[in-house]
Amino acid sequence: MVVEVSGCNPDVLNDLDRVKEILRESALQANAEILELAFHHFAPQGVSGVVVISESHLSIHTWPEYGYAALDVYTCGEKTDPWRAMEYAAEKFEATTIVKTEIARGQEIEGRPRVYGHSVVETEVMRDGMAVVS
């Protein structure tokens, strides 16, 4: 799940500990098992970080000066819910707009055993409290 969140609280986006905690909790909200965390704060501003989970990873890159962050939620298996992770993170960042595209990874290409591709499932735009606007 490829996600852009806009209209976020710049103070949250620029706080390494809060961003890390939000991503960690997003992973747990998605019912994922956390394995590793790697986060970095940039000067003068911005945070990048990744949570490696048993079911793949979550990543975040924030631009506080634009109230914007790029979030990836990559999960596999039936047990995990990337949507829940995305909603949780967007809420904690106080996002007013979310643009989200779902990509199905590792799909075996028809007639070509063990050759894998991916497909773009759909793009959604959500605004102000998760209402779908297009």
Residues 46-85: x/- map of binding to its own copies (CB under 8 A)? Answer: --xxx-x-x-xx-x-x-x--xxx-x-x-x-----------
4 in Cβ contact with 68 (< 8 Å):
yes
Q: Which backbone phi and psi does 103 adopt, to 5 degrees?
A: -120, 125
Q: How far apart are CA 28 and CA 9, in angstroms?
A: 22
Q: Which residues contact 90 (CB under 8 A, 6 or more apart)?
A: 3, 5, 71, 98, 130
For its own copies, the binding residue among 17, 21, 40, 121 (CB under 8 A) is 40
Which of 117, 121, 128, 130 touches its own copies (CB under 8 A)?
117
Q: Which residue has the tokens 């990744």?
A: 50
By the criterion CB under 8 A, which residues form the site for its own copies? 2, 4, 6-7, 35-40, 42, 48-50, 52, 54, 56-57, 59, 61, 63, 66-68, 70, 72, 74, 97, 99, 101, 103, 105-106, 109, 112, 114-118, 120, 125
